[in-house]
Amino acid sequence: MKTIGIVGLGVMGASFAKRLSQKGYAVYGFEVSQKVLDLALAKQIITKGTTEPRELLWECDEIILALYPTQILPWVKENQKYFRPQTLLMDISGVKSNIILPVQEILRNDVELISIHPMCGRESRGIEFSDETIFDGANYIVVPTSRNSKEAIQTARELGSVLGVKRINELSIEEHDRMIGFLSQLTHVIAVSLMNTHENSHLVEYTGDSFRDLTRIASINEDLWSELFVLNKDILLEEIDQFMEAVSHFKTALKQEDTEEMKRLFIQSTQRRERFNQ
Amino acid sequence: MKTIGIVGLGVMGASFAKRLSQKGYAVYGFEVSQKVLDLALAKQIITKGTTEPRELLWECDEIILALYPTQILPWVKENQKYFRPQTLLMDISGVKSNIILPVQEILRNDVELISIHPMCGRESRGIEFSDETIFDGANYIVVPTSRNSKEAIQTARELGSVLGVKRINELSIEEHDRMIGFLSQLTHVIAVSLMNTHENSHLVEYTGDSFRDLTRIASINEDLWSELFVLNKDILLEEIDQFMEAVSHFKTALKQEDTEEMKRLFIQSTQRRERFNQ
């Protein structure tokens, strides 16, 4: 069995570690916090762990980078001298623009980085919220670039199978980040903005499912998401503009009491929404 | 036991009829469609039914108006001559501005209209989707005006108890329609506009819970909601403007890569959302 290193034992890294340990892999944890390592060892989430990457990196066949996106480049720069030749790195960042290519650019020639995105992030932070079942039923995207080998793409797909995800797809960086910009980032901007529209605590007792559904993701990890938004800024700004255009169009129809246009918009949204019922 | 008339056996009217019949009331159905009446009688949802209001209206102690909001005034004008003295009318419209006062204005002096809103509407239409369990756990608002008697308010509250709702509140028309404007109508404008932002069918396979949650209510009864929106136009336009202001503010922070301001907005939305967890 391969030895898999996991860099960062937060909620996502530790969830990877749990599932891969269950499947029989030797899982090595790399963490800045000794306390987190001790907990991971005590719970047998990892086989070995260290705060000193040089001690164990050379033993790893594959390394999963479960760091905040902007930490990846500095971490690789500092530690790539310890990689074993032919190591395969995989990052799991929620956006890929401005992250993957700069790392591939400076990476040693005898190792490779392939990007993956298991779409099962959680708002909670830390190892105590890790949960190997988040992979069950998840979408898992492999995001290859021109620098990736067929073998690395294949290995990344196989990791998805081992994790037990529902569906494995391949997308380019641009396709991935447009998809995320609309489905995930724009929806978070909307939920956060709805919650911030005005003070609303007096309405709690009247709230039904609609409002709860629309604002569930207004609970958000501010450190991670502010990074992800800035990294995908150009695409997300476009999506916000298109959404605001749609709201503005609706508003004009309402202002003019243009019932026919409102009905057309309702019918269109109803028809489009039907495709998303499963 | 009282005899309760229900005008309109759509999804809401028939749900009222089912629950009230279960509770032992004589429930009389008033419908334009003989087919719907036949179905209601066959399923014992109602005790008697007619397409001719004059035949049975005089027997009713209370009448629930489960019509589209704009149908209420013309229906009352046409049929109030058949009411028994002291009849209590209750409308269940989703908004109250521009609906209740005009009816109270023209109503016979020996009958009374008290407005209620059981917050358990359904997007589906028609008697075949009626379901008496929609009242379980629902919020139920009584919306009295200066023309209402204490007795009518009390009877309206008692009806909520009979229906088995979770919570009974009283709000003025203005309070009710502001609450609905924000919690229900604005959320529908957002869901519809998100779905209409751009073509998105190619994204179905990548969609997770966030997008599904935000767009569930994009499936909408276009006839009813275009009426409700126009009736509450002034308040809803204000709410849309405030929401667009919040989105616009977020957009500016992102454009300027003002991470601190984005974090502040995320923290505020997270804190506000916590109050809505139950």
Instruction: Assign A278 a pLDDT band (cuts: 50, 70, 90).
Output: low
Cβ distance B190 to A195 less than 8 Å, yes or no, reads no
The DSSP-derived string for chain A is --EEEEE--SHHHHHHHHHHHHTT-EEEEE-S-HHHHHHHHHTTS-SEEES-HHHHGGG-SEEEE-S-HHHHHHHHHHHGGGSPTT-EEEE--S--TTTHHHHHHHS-TTSEEEEEEEE---SS-SGGG--GGGGTT-EEEEE--TT--HHHHHHHHHHHHHHT-SEEEE--HHHHHHHHIIIIIIHHHHHHHHHTSS--GGGGGG--HHHHHHHGGGS--HHHHHHHHHHTHHHHHHHHHHHHHHHHHHHHHHHTT-HHHHHHHHHHHHHHHHTT--
Cβ distance A247 to B244 less than 8 Å, yes or no, reads yes
A-chain residue closest to B263, CA distance:
A222
Q: What is the pLDDT of residues A138-187, one digit of tens each?
A: 999 999 999 999 999 999 999 999 999 999 999 999 999 999 999 999 99
Instruction: Assign A118 a pLDDT band (cuts: 50, 70, 90).
Output: very high
| β-sheet bridge partners, residue A48 | A28
The SS3 of residue B47 is: coil
Structure tokens at A163: 């994790």
Class for the domain spanning B175-274: mainly alpha
A-chain residue closest to B198, CA distance:
A242
Domain chopping of chain B, boundaries: 3-171, 175-274
With contacts defined as CB-CB under 8 Å, which chain B residues touch A223?
263
Cβ distance A184 to B208 less than 8 Å, yes or no, reads yes
Cβ distance B216 to A213 less than 8 Å, yes or no, reads yes
With contacts defined as CB-CB under 8 Å, which chain B residues touch A168?
none
SS3 content of chain B, % helix, strand, coil (to 5): 55, 15, 30
With contacts defined as CB-CB under 8 Å, which chain A residues touch B98?
none
Q: Can you list the positions of beta strands (E) in B74-138?
A: 88-91, 112-119
Whether A205 shows a pLDDT value over 90: the answer reads no
Q: What is the pLDDT of residues A24-72, one digit of tens each?
A: 999 999 999 999 999 999 999 999 999 999 999 999 999 999 999 999 9
With contacts defined as CB-CB under 8 Å, which chain B residues touch A229?
254, 262
Q: What pLDDT shows up at residue A7?
A: 98
Q: What pLDDT shows up at residue A210?
A: 86
Question: Which residue in the set B216, B236, B246 is minimally distant from A197, CB to CB?
Answer: B246
Mutate to test the interface with A, among B68, B139, B169, B183 (most CBs of A within 10 A): B183
With contacts defined as CB-CB under 8 Å, which chain A residues touch B240?
247, 250-251, 254
The answer for residues whose C-beta is within 8 angstroms of residue B258's C-beta and 6 or more apart is: B252
d(CA B87, CA B90): 10
Whether A114 shows a pLDDT value over 80: the answer reads yes
Alpha-carbon gap: A48 to the closest alpha carbon of chain B (Å)? 34
Question: From first to last of its 278 residues, what are the pLDDT tens digits of chain B?
Answer: 899 999 999 999 999 999 999 999 999 999 999 999 999 999 999 999 999 999 999 999 999 999 999 999 999 999 999 999 999 999 999 999 999 999 999 999 999 999 999 998 877 889 999 999 999 989 999 999 999 999 999 999 999 999 999 999 999 999 999 999 999 999 999 999 999 999 888 888 888 788 999 999 999 999 999 999 999 999 999 999 999 999 999 999 999 999 999 999 999 999 999 988 86
Mutate to test the interface with A, among B207, B223, B260 (most CBs of A within 10 A): B207
Question: Which residue in the set A169, A226, A265 is minimally distant from B192, CB to CB?
Answer: A265
Q: Evaluate the CA torsion angle B80, B83, B89, B94 in order and state its sign.
A: negative
Q: What pLDDT shows up at residue B101?
A: 96
What crossing angle do the helices spanning A69-79 and A222-231 adopt, rounded to 10°? 80
Tell me the ipTM for this assembly.
Answer: 0.89
Q: Provide the edge-to-edge strand list for the sheet that holds B139-143.
A: B48-50, B26-30, B3-7, B62-65, B88-91, B112-119, B139-143, B167-170
B-chain residue closest to A252, CA distance:
B237
Q: Which CATH superfamily is domain A3-171 in?
A: NAD(P)-binding Rossmann-like Domain (3.40.50.720)
